[in-house]
Chain A
Amino acid sequence: MESKLREFFNTNFKDSLVKEETFRGDLSFFVKAEDLYAVCEALLDSHELQVKLLADITSVDWLHTDEEKDGRFEVVYNLYSIPNQFRFFIKVRLSGDDPKVKTVTDLWAGANWMEREVWDLMGIEFVGHPNLTKILTADELDGHPLRKDFPLTWEQPKFTWNQNDPPEVIK
């Protein structure tokens, strides 16, 4: 399956592929953010690969680490092929100023809530999402809690004692 995937990327998306990485047996492909949708669409259409299940979408914040130079945010698409019993990851790196990537909700219906969660907790915008609203946090909460610059002990809403004096991020 690994070689088939490599072949898939080499024939169709040679320019989109940034790098390939294997760590502890987990295979990930880093692709350019603007080509993500096309890659997903081609994977879904491929009869040979049979990648139909989008297991998860998640995100990572690389603030204040040496990884930040490639882009502060990372969005991780966790894909699984049921007939081949194989899991791999597609990752995109996004800049810290205006993190944006095209939605995959029209390919996978299940992506709807996953993208909403990433938007709510990490503040990454999914362009074209039908209902990109808060899903887990309170309506009054400003900001995106999973970002590294969001303090761990920040108390919202109004009745907080430290509203005007947020503590340092606990590292």
Chain B
Amino acid sequence: MSTESKTITLNMGPQHPSTHGVLRVILELDGETVVKAEPVLGYLHTGIEKTMESKLYYKALPCTDRMDYLAPMSNNLGYSLAVEKLMDIEVPEKVKWARVCLAELTRVNSHLVWLGTHALDIGAMSMLLYTFRDRESIIDVYEACGGQRMMTSYIRIGGLAHDLPVDFDKRVRNIIKQVENGLEDYETLLTNNEIFINRTKDVAVISAEDAINWSLTGPMLRGSGIKHDLRKANPYTGYENFDFEVCVGKKGDAYDRYVLRVEEIRQSLRIMKQALDGMPEGPYLAHVPGVVLPPKEDVLYKMESMIFHFKIITEGFKSPKGAVYQALESPKGEIGFYINSDGTNKPNRVRVRPPSMINLGSLPKLVEGRMFSDVITAIGSIDIVLGEVDR
């Protein structure tokens, strides 16, 4: 009998519950060890970048929250900031503070879903029920703000779609309290849980050097011990006024990333408290006639506002020629909008730097040579949303 070892090829996905969507991985297995892993993407490719090119600047905005549907406000914010940078618009103070609060709310939302699904993937089913309970109240705030529960499109070019809801402060403070209490439960359930530790410690390890070489960003990079957070490094929308810590891991394994993301939720709650305490009064839209849509109240009663409203909706505004890039720290990593304008009323090219796609690129590096069951942990700990990976 020959002792030569043979590998088998196993197809995982695209319909697999722990691939968080329609990711397919072709695995070459030697027994239970992964020899080669090849992710296959594109099952959800909808050509969002091409669609955005064909639309006026305003009308491209709803495309952005359809990519990373777990962090819609971060995507809206990124696109709005990029267009504001292109048009050189300064937004009112209140908008900045509200945007910080909403962006952090989104981070909590995304991390809670991640925590629930990641724990579910590796066997802790009850986590999903608890985290989704807390997430529900965040989604309710989205609904109060933008009228939609997931695809909010609430953050617009030059400000917000409407003023913040009247009970925004009360609702968000309730969420802060609820998530703070919830976090204690989650940590009791997971942090010292032996099964969880065995499934995550020393699994999907990536060193600091490799993390940079693979262009990783966000919790994947910080988990490997590199203190890099765009909110601190290149502050946008007024993050320089807030006091928070950038958390880092040590080893860069899945457990470190879990600890780090839980700590990030805490820091986000801290930022949200500061944002609510210091929220200034003022208009919710910048006053830039012809570029920023006038407030809806004015459109109905003032002639100039109505004319501008009509003009912006039908023919948009002309942008200066040039290219801008605006990056921000989304829950998954650095999301960037590269807008290239040729001087017309539509962008010549919109490129979205997809954090979860670029982080997913390191999957072969994380799992090759490891056990088959670690693939599930690795995919979970990268935190991907296929809507954004495939766009």
- For the complex, is A111 an interface residue (Cβ under 8 Å from B)? yes
Report B382 CB to chain A, min CB distance, Å: 13
Query: Size band of the A side of the interface?
Result: 35 or more
Which residues of chain B have C-beta atoms less than 8 A from A85's C-beta? 233-234
Interface-facing stretch out of B19-27, B118-126, B350-358: B350-358
A122-163, CB < 8 A from B: 134-138, 145-146, 150, 152
Q: Compute how far the CA of A54 lies from the CA of B336 in the bound complex, rounded to whole angstroms.
A: 13
- For the complex, is B137 an interface residue (Cβ under 8 Å from A)? no
Which residue in chain A gives the minimum CB-CB distance to B40? A135
Report A148 CB to chain B, min CB distance, Å: 9
Report B249 CB to chain A, min CB distance, Å: 16
- Binary interface encoding of chain A residues 67-101 relative to chain B, with 1 for a CB under 8 A from any of its CBs, else 0: 10000000010100010010101000000000000
Interface-facing stretch out of A2-10, A11-19, A23-31, A35-43: A23-31
Report A116 CB to chain B, min CB distance, Å: 9
- For the complex, is A55 an interface residue (Cβ under 8 Å from B)? yes
- For the complex, is B195 an interface residue (Cβ under 8 Å from A)? no
User: Known: A52-B212, A67-B342, A82-B226. Contact between A26 and B323, CB under 8 A?
Assistant: yes
- For the complex, is B275 an interface residue (Cβ under 8 Å from A)? no
- B342, A58: Cβ atoms closer than 8 Å: no
Which residues of chain B have C-beta atoms less than 8 A from A121's C-beta? 49
Interchain Cβ contacts under 8 Å between A and B, 5 examples: A78-B353, A87-B325, A109-B362, A109-B365, A145-B50
B residues adjacent to A (C-beta < 8 A): 41-42, 45, 47, 49-51, 54, 85-86, 88, 210, 212-217, 226, 228, 233-234, 322-325, 327, 334, 336, 338, 340, 342, 348-349, 351, 353, 357-358, 361-362, 365, 390-391
Contacts A28-B323, A56-B336, A58-B351 known; list 9 others, CB within 8 Å. A55-B336, A56-B215, A87-B327, A109-B362, A109-B365, A111-B215, A113-B357, A113-B358, A152-B51
